[in-house]
Structure 1
């Protein structure tokens, strides 16, 4: 709907619990349409305010095409909400919501699929996530200590990271499995329980099972989002809502941007993989090849000089505190390598990695590679 090919936005208004969008539907006859998106809280007072404001706006738009959608957080009949005693507040809410729908000449579209669209969370998710974090760090600690690599500091660090990356892939699959498949299986079982609830109702054990499944589904969905969030490399948006469609698009765009489809060779386009690899290698070999010809002369140039103390400071070894301060100054979602570990990982496992990190930095400073 938000594609410029389908809908052209002309104006919008933000209310306390709603947003009104006006524009033209390009497909078909290009009709002028109004779309109201609702997200209301549980307060009856705020619901009444929203009904009055949106209802008043709708009265002036009755002759135009329009759609009011979203989360009204209200019910039209008692049977639409389970496990709640119908008190006077709910009675007033039901009447007020029905009056709003009728006066605005709205059609209540029948629900397809589940009978209920929201279930009360049970608060189990946080403790499960905490246990996952603990197991992850202990795995990193034991794995890192087991790697026996000999060589220069930067080589040792690189090889240990390579081994850890491979081991983490296996560990993640063994411990957590496929998050997508897990979510599908949990969702299928929840659908089965919902159908049974609609027909015959659930017994106590089945209600407890449904609570447990919702907790597991929340963890699985959070894991899916976290994986896509990392792949998308979006620093301006944080995890929270399940923005999986957005993250999928970001991942695809990032991969397409980084992919080298082909190059021009002697003014002719080539997408042959071997030819492209050879030409890229030749380009960088030529670019970084040593040139012994003196191209710049500095005769009689009077340079400013520094003190011996400053010189000692500049050529001295980096301290652990300096390396740590530099890493902590980097965005945790960023990675030094296109497909490597993020700074957030290095920070969280600093007590495990710091010796090798500092050794790699000192090695690079001493040898330049």
Structure 2
């Protein structure tokens, strides 16, 4: 875990990013958490007020490049979108954040940064928590990349036939799917491993092959290996969709000014929201009394629906 308190000048920030990148790449530790005041934003919308019209392109590009190059993830936020506020209320920005490595997110996939109330400091405190709630049975899902693996279909068939039959047909299917879900998790880890680490390795190898290709130094074996790496990148893409789905999930709602993550409350509030949005009223506010609609005569209808004659077909062709 690294606590950050960055300088204000762009040159000092670049030096910090380079030093952090060097330390992280040289370390054997895979689970990383970088948190604190980075004094930098990822987009213009994250800074409002003072110097709002200034050009932050260099800072934004450099900071995003630092995050992407080190395969860091910006944890989802619960609460306010800004963490620093000027005392007179004329400016605010999101210069405080928590960045974690992919291995961190694999270990604690429900991690979020909770923005606390601002008290003495002009910064809001941030609390990182990984809260797992029981949302009851989830739908059975697969990853497209699994079907590209030759052993997948045979493994599923073998596992399915090995499960004991319990109860009636419906209960039997439910229990088998539950068992298969657990076996698929194990199989996915054994076959695909840590997709984020594998991605980094694949991208590095691809870069080396591209450089060799530019120098016309690739033999036939190297070209085949490069094509195989492309297939691996495709499998990684499908696997990474799981992380996106976790990031975009609705984890809670605000009730009476308080954040709530209890599944029953979230469901109730979501249902109520859609009930209000899509509830029909007696008066739709639309009047068609004076509108005259054009319509087809019976003769036109017959002409449009009758079969084509041989002469019409010949003229068209």
Q: TM-score range by the shorter chain?
A: 0.3 to 0.5
Structure number with larger C-alpha Rg: 1
TM-score, normalised to structure 1, is 0.28
TM-score by length of 2: 0.32
